[in-house]
Amino acid sequence: MKRCSIIIHSVTGNNYIIATHLEALLEERGIEMRLYRTEDSDLHISANKYESANEYYEEILNVPVATVEKLEKSAMIVLGCPTYFANVSAEMKTFLDSTVDLYASGALEGKQFACFTSCGDSLQDAHMTLEAMRRWAIQMKMTEVPTGDLIHISGEEGRIRPSLDFGKELEAFANKLAAAIEEP
């Protein structure tokens, strides 16, 4: 069975919500799933400052931290990251930068890739964040699964949670990933 790893950075919980729902949808489709998070030594500060960040704080901390070795064991890698100033968060960037040896060895070449983001209110910024993650995958010579852009608009301080309508988009996203990972 081919493994799919979802690697997220989540502060307010929205990317965590998306990732756990995506994980469940893919498991329903018979895909071996793993959920990981990037290291975030400042998460407790956000949890103390914003109610939305505190709501999922403990659950996010219980997600294992992603490592480079986890990527090598995956047939498909899905990244989920908040949009910060039209780019990935520093925590996601730090994780991606830690994969430089995989770039040098070509260890991720041909593996499948997809990504999603949650952002306050700017679709343009969200698209730029997705492009940043895609550029990493291109450098790694990965194959992007044509899923379309999965963007959640979270509003001020991430208070707007993914809705039932977003769930329909997420189900379509999961269907495309499941079909791609099962292709010979």
- pLDDT single digits (tens) 27-68: 999 999 999 999 999 999 988 888 888 999 999 999 999 999
Rounded-to-integer distance, Cα 122 and Cα 101, Å: 34
Is residue 71 within 8 A of residue 43, CB to CB? The reply is: no
What's the whole-number average pLDDT of the chain? 94
Give residue limits of the domains in the chain.
3-182
Rounded-to-integer distance, Cα 53 and Cα 146, Å: 31
- pLDDT single digits (tens) 118-136: 998 889 999 999 999 999 9
The full length of the chain comes to 184
For 3-182, the fitting CATH number among 3.40.190.10, 3.40.50.2020, 1.10.1740.10, 3.40.50.360 is 3.40.50.360
Rounded-to-integer distance, Cα 114 and Cα 170, Å: 12
**What is the pTM for the complete model shown?**
0.95
Residue 164: pLDDT band (50, 70, 90) is: confident
